[in-house]
Structure 1
Amino acid sequence: MMIKKIITLLIALGLLHHSASAQTPDPGFQQHGQYTVHYSIFSSTFILPDIAKSYNLKRSKNEVLLNIMVAKGDQAGGVPVAIEGTVKNMLQQQKPLKFITIDEKDTVYYLAPIRVSNKEIMHFTISTKPEGAQTPLITQFTKTVYADK
């Protein structure tokens, strides 16, 4: 329950920060029919040490976490999905993302660690397929990502 509260707070903070700093605000979600794919990125140091340890997450100034949650209809929590994705930097170097499932009583989140050296513009392609869906939901977005200082 604690990680759900932390991630919800981080999603809100990420959306506020991004909205305040960008000319065209990124809403942090994309609608795909009855599903909404929510995404945010935050520093891994925001996760408390004991929570990071319990989910085998690395806390580092040079590591951020991509958070993905897929909601169905007007449900508040995330639903289970098959997920995979890639991140590409400005030099067109592409890396697969390795997601960690955070499955709580009433929601499911997916976190993927990403190493950053400073300020980087990253292009994400995420494929999520909810249980029972015929085709995957493809979500693409670009974010400027910063290492903690």
Structure 2
Amino acid sequence: MKKNFGGLMKIKYTGSRLAYICIVSALALFSSLAHGEQKQRLGEWDVHYMVVNTPFLTPEVAADYGIMRSKYNALVNISVLDAKSGEAQQVAISGEARNLIGNNRKLTFKKVAEADAIYYLAVLPFRDQETYRFTINVQRGNITQTLNFQQKMYVDE
């Protein structure tokens, strides 16, 4: 079912714990005026992306997905949907995050499939008020699209 939270975002909720955590995290981030879930249309895909601090995850969910909770770690969450049908797409994802002084961090994504949702998750270590430029390559067959975005990271005390 589609949820619309004040016109800020739409998420296809599948009942999974990860989806629930992402919704709660996005709402918490919106309430603190930080970045939440965002979307870009890349060719025939709607690519949803969200970067949240890992302490927003419960210890149980973090353990289930092998994510280390730390105020210095962010979770990069990518979901690729067919723009017409809204169906989750199985793709190959690679990427990097580069800070403003040029230090590069390779992002290693882990695929998580639950019900009719597919998420690609990576952990990014960061320092307080560090800005990253993300370059995420999404590939399926011979089609490759690149998602670019920038986000400033904050340590939550």
- The amino acid that maps onto 1:136 is T
TM-score normalized by the length of structure 1: 0.84
Aligned with 2:113 (options 81, 86, 103): 103
User: How many aligned residue pairs are there?
Assistant: 142
Structure-1 separation of matches of 2:92 and 2:27: 25
Which structure 1 segments of 5+ residues have no match?
Answer: none
Structure-2 separation of matches of 1:11 and 1:79: 22
Structure-1 separation of matches of 2:152 and 2:88: 25
TM-score normalized by the length of structure 2: 0.80
Which structure 2 segments of 5+ residues have no match?
Answer: 1-15
Change (3 A) 1:115 1:89: same
Asked if 2 retains the 8 angstrom alpha-carbon contact of 1:77 and 1:108, the reply is no
Asked if 2 retains the 8 angstrom alpha-carbon contact of 1:64 and 1:147, the reply is no
Structure-1 separation of matches of 2:115 and 2:34: 34
Structure-2 separation of matches of 1:135 and 1:74: 17
Deviation at 1:10, TM superposition (A): 2.8
Deviation at 1:86, TM superposition (A): 0.5
Q: Which moved more, 1:139-148 or 1:80-89?
A: 139-148
Q: Which has the higher strand share?
A: 2
The answer for the alignment partner of 1:147 in structure 2 is: 155
Structure-2 separation of matches of 1:75 and 1:114: 31
Asked if 1 retains the 8 angstrom alpha-carbon contact of 2:37 and 2:50, the reply is no
